[in-house]
Homo-oligomer: A and B are copies of this chain.
């Protein structure tokens, strides 16, 4: 035949030949709804007429994207480190200069441009250890158990990677909350580990229930080897803050069942509700004494992306490991070294977050005022969100005790559910897509986080500026009412 030898040349890498684990990964927070939001923004810029004038991205916990201003002191120190000529400028406070000089001294070649050691700059690991000690009422933290990371995401992926082993019925299973932050499901898919779901209790403000943990674990033991338990506290997307007794019960359970604990505590500074308080797993575990304090393995994660600073773009974070086997810790160190080092500017910001200006420092007053203003506004927005949603028929919203999200439950009429199914969409995806097209409000459907069968939710951040938030919540409620009428 006259067929050219090349005309049929297939690609090496296709959907059929690529890594099947990667294919199974899903990541709703940046999924189809966000891609559509980007398109709509572009259409608006091109002058296409829409029933709204701007897209509001309430899909991701990105405070500065929503207009929150960076904390001045953090940026001053970082600017000084980036461009040390500024150390001669009279426009920078003395304490910022001192901090910058101290950090530069600890950098290779006294420059942010050198690779740091893979576990992060030793001085900053020490700063983190002091922070943890202060946070936990004096319980010691060892800098050598602290690894700085490229955002918390990177550290979570690293710890999960260490835990994954086995095949078939011995494959590593990892318990994760439902609803969850979808980094967990994505990482487990990528690593070919088994995702074991435990459900948070919506009726009790998304509390964690050890009986439910036990149910999930027992069922999972039939088909995999559950070896780790992930907790997100304060919760994303659920906004709950765990009570100390609950944490104790979880630790006892993990110890008895021999589960490695992963505590995602990136929202530790984001607690708003009256009566709620953040308790770190490390502190509770230590205060429970032996054998928990001396044997229970724990990894706790923190980040510069959340809290009052919201410095997501810098990709700073850390993990503290507790009771990790020494040989495994060496393996972790080795694994980290392959990626060379976490971004040094993110390390610098982390250092500021864990050792902010002291009351005697010239920058203290302004720093404190900026920090408090952000946290107070977040608390007000958390309250407002709960209140407005709960006034709307067919929407029910648990209190946003902490973190940066509400995760209200919405009633969707059966005909809407049916219509969605015809379109091959999850019903809450259908709702959220329609919401986006008609109002410009971008939220993430509950199906991206997981929810009990037959219930529907969406996640909306509390981050839009106060003056926009109330109209936004009202618009959303009104849209829900209209949507409900349309499909009744």
On A, residues with C-beta under 8 Å from B are: 6, 9-15, 17-20, 22-23, 25-27, 29-30, 38, 60, 62-70, 75-76, 78-79, 82-83, 85-86, 89, 91, 107-109, 111-118, 150-151, 153-154, 157, 161-165, 183, 186-187, 190, 227-228, 255, 258-260, 290-291, 295, 297, 305, 309-315, 323-325, 327-328, 331, 334-335, 337-346
Contacts and interface: CB of A to CB of B under 8 A. Distances in A.
Nearest to A153: B339
A258 B313 contact: no
Copies in the complex: 2
Contacts of A259: 12
Given A62-B115, A79-B82, A114-B312, A13 B260 contact: yes
A315 to B, nearest CB: 4
Given A75-B82, A113-B70, A315 B343 contact: yes
B18 A310 contact: no
Contacts of A63: 113
Given A107-B313, A108-B62, A12 B345 contact: no
A327 B14 contact: yes
Central interface residue in A27, A154, A260, A338, by most chain B CB within 10 Å: A338
A320 to B, nearest CB: 15
Given A13-B260, A228-B12, A325-B14, A190 B338 contact: yes
B65 A19 contact: no
A280 B452 CA distance: 53
A291 B38 CA distance: 35
A319 to B, nearest CB: 14
Contacts of A113: 63-64, 70, 309-314
Given A62-B114, A79-B83, 14 more contacts: A6-B291, A13-B162, A13-B297, A15-B327, A63-B113, A64-B109, A69-B111, A75-B83, A78-B83, A79-B86, A112-B314, A154-B339, A157-B339, A343-B343
